[in-house]
Amino acid sequence: MLIYDGLHYDALAISPFEGAPEEFDQTIFPVQKDLALKLVKEQQRKKTYTDTANFTLCYGVCQIGVIGQKAIAATVASDTVKHSEAFIGKSNQDYCSWIQDPEKWG
């Protein structure tokens, strides 16, 4: 199952106990639509969204680590040849604006 928070998708995982190492998480289990819907609604109610200003991202094109959407926008803006319209599907400037829009990027 995948959970979509309005920005990106994550695998739904269940830990066997609080604080269990991540390798103990279970991501394959019988489909229980009500469970996933309940979880999503609870997370939306709590407003637990991805912190795009401070998350750490490994930028696949350059293979570098950056923190936050401003840093990734600066990385894209710094090389308009590598990050051309042909590659990213819109102008470099438009793409950088899109990355920094918390309602759209993900």
What is the per-residue DSSP string for 55-99? -EEEETTTTEEEESHHHHHHHHHT-TTTT-HHHHSS-HHHHHHHH
Whether pLDDT at 24 is above 90: yes
Domain residue limits, the chain:
2-46, 56-100
pLDDT band at 20 (very low <50, low <70, confident <90, very high): very high
Q: Taking the CB of residue 70, how many other CB atoms lie within 10 A of it?
A: 14
Residue count of the chain, please give it: 106
Q: What is the pTM of this model?
A: 0.50
Residue 38: predicted pLDDT: 83
pLDDT in tens, 66-93: 888 888 889 889 888 888 888 888 899 9
Tokens of 59: 């930028």
Residue 48: predicted pLDDT: 73
